[in-house]
Chain A
Amino acid sequence: MTDNPILLADTGAATINVALLMSALLFVIGLVGFLSRRNMILMFLCTELMFQAAALAMIAFGKVHGDLSGQVFVIFILTVAAAEAALALGLVVLLYRRRETLDSEAWSELREA
């Protein structure tokens, strides 16, 4: 709930819908990127994109219900994203040192059959 008239004026049902559409599209683009990128770092970057989409959906629905819990959950999303970035990047650096490439297919022997 803002008191800024400029910000408040726009927050209609259309804004909520556009935000929901944006979150769905961002999530899907992140998913497509995760599936189609070969660079391990960029695969993790695409998961960050999906985190963003989830955060946006939370804030949009929180706005609909006039509840702030959605915004509080975004704080937790940021926490998880930060932890994930630290750990995943540490792992990626280890993997890179072993194979000297970021190509995820260099590790395809780990898959089944």
Chain B
Amino acid sequence: MEIALPPTQLLAEAIASPAAIALTSACAIGAAGLALLMQPGKKGLRIAGTVIALAGFAMLLVEVIKRASAGEDGATTSIPPVFPVIFSFIALAGAVRMVTHPKPVFAALYFILVVIATAGMFLLLGAEFMAFSLIIVYAGAILITYMFVLMLAQQSPVAGVGDAWYDRVPREAVSAVVVGFVILATLSDAYFSARTQTQLADARANGESAAIERAWERLEGMPKLLLETARTAHEDQWRAAQREVAAGTTAATMPEIVSIEQKADGSALRRIEGGVSVSAKLADGSTISVAIPDALRPDNSRQVGVDLVSKFPAGLEIAGVVLLMALFGAVILARKQIELGEDERRGLAGMRRITVDGEAGGMR
């Protein structure tokens, strides 16, 4: 396997190849833009930062899309991914604004924008159920909790001072951006190196057919449902198959289905024009084939549901317990009354003075 290359060789390859340099420099430009964007109260710097960050993002996009078409061997002329680019732009703009905005409530609202754009991306990736549950759970429930606490805990703005000092001035902005840049360079090199792109292309080639097979395999536990679906869809074909199998009996009796045959070569499940053909074994030992159109394939939410309860039942139970414990924990935490002692009150007064001093220092 190629993975067995010694790390030094991998490192040399990662650093020395011109493609890696292009990717890393695009990351660096974006990071520089973000660092400029985080400077509080300097409008010129922030405009320059916006321009630089946009340039870095555009360079990254171009580089990444170029690599995708290189991984496909040019067999398919890939159309430029318009919607993904739009969604990722919205999400990243929202995320940057969320990190830099001086008003916490606005930052939370920008996070909702990020959630919606991510949900759009999920839709493009064929995860409809997760897209909508993301909007419902994140934008609907979690973010409302955040907004609630933000408004509960926000100090009333003093007239003339504006936003709190600690919201306006970032802590160690440059070091944070440098850390971010290192991680981004590593991640993007891992994702978009030629080796990974080839692996992804291979996986995609196998994945398309594997997904269809697996979607039907998953229904193996419920042949009744499958055959019922097939029957309602293909009444005539079903009747013909039934007559063929059980000649002499009336067509009103439904033969019992024992199992859906799965042979190693996948012969029981064949891809046909506009659908798949499934072979099912009946109680009397004979088999029938039913063609099921693609339109009747289980949809995303049903597939995810079957996957969830069949592959991860323990995880599902634990998730329920975790949520219940979090509920109890939050109630117990919130019920706790805090009685500030005399010392703490004095300390608090000192803290306030320090904060005011810091504020004055931060403004200059």
Distance in Å: Cβ of B195 to nearest Cβ of chain A = 14
> A2–B126 Cα gap in the complex (Å)?
6
- A65: B residues at CB distance < 8 A: 203, 206-207, 210
> Is B65 in contact with A17, judged by CB distance below 8 angstroms?
yes
> Is A68 in contact with B304, judged by CB distance below 8 angstroms?
yes
Known: A15-B84, A22-B88, A72-B311. A85 touches B99 (CB 8 A): no
How many A residues are at the interface, by size bracket? 35 or more
> A6–B104 Cα gap in the complex (Å)?
38
> Is B64 in contact with A21, judged by CB distance below 8 angstroms?
yes
> Is A67 in contact with B180, judged by CB distance below 8 angstroms?
no
> Is B177 in contact with A75, judged by CB distance below 8 angstroms?
no
- B127: A residues at CB distance < 8 A: 59, 62-63, 71, 74
> A95–B123 Cα gap in the complex (Å)?
39
> Is A39 in contact with B333, judged by CB distance below 8 angstroms?
no
* B169 interface neighbour in A38, A62, A87, Cβ under 8 Å: A38
Choose, from B72-80, B234-242, B247-255, B284-292, the stretch at the interface.
B72-80
- Chain B: residues with Cβ within 8 Å of the partner, total of 125
- B45: A residues at CB distance < 8 A: none
Closest B residue by C-beta to A49? B95
Choose, from B10-18, B132-140, B225-233, B264-272, the stretch at the interface.
B132-140
- A7: B residues at CB distance < 8 A: 123-124, 126
> Is B303 in contact with A83, judged by CB distance below 8 angstroms?
no
> Is B322 in contact with A85, judged by CB distance below 8 angstroms?
no
> Is B323 in contact with A82, judged by CB distance below 8 angstroms?
yes
> Is B107 in contact with A19, judged by CB distance below 8 angstroms?
no
User: What are 24 contact pairs spanning A and B, CB under 8 A?
Assistant: A12-B79, A18-B64, A19-B125, A21-B64, A25-B88, A42-B108, A46-B98, A59-B125, A64-B203, A64-B207, A67-B207, A67-B211, A68-B214, A69-B307, A71-B304, A75-B319, A79-B319, A83-B325, A85-B146, A90-B333, A91-B333, A96-B153, A100-B348, A106-B355
Identify 13 new A-B residue pairs, CB closer than 8 A, beyond the known A22-B92, A29-B92, A56-B118: A19-B125, A31-B176, A37-B170, A37-B171, A45-B108, A48-B142, A49-B95, A60-B125, A65-B206, A66-B214, A69-B312, A97-B338, A103-B166
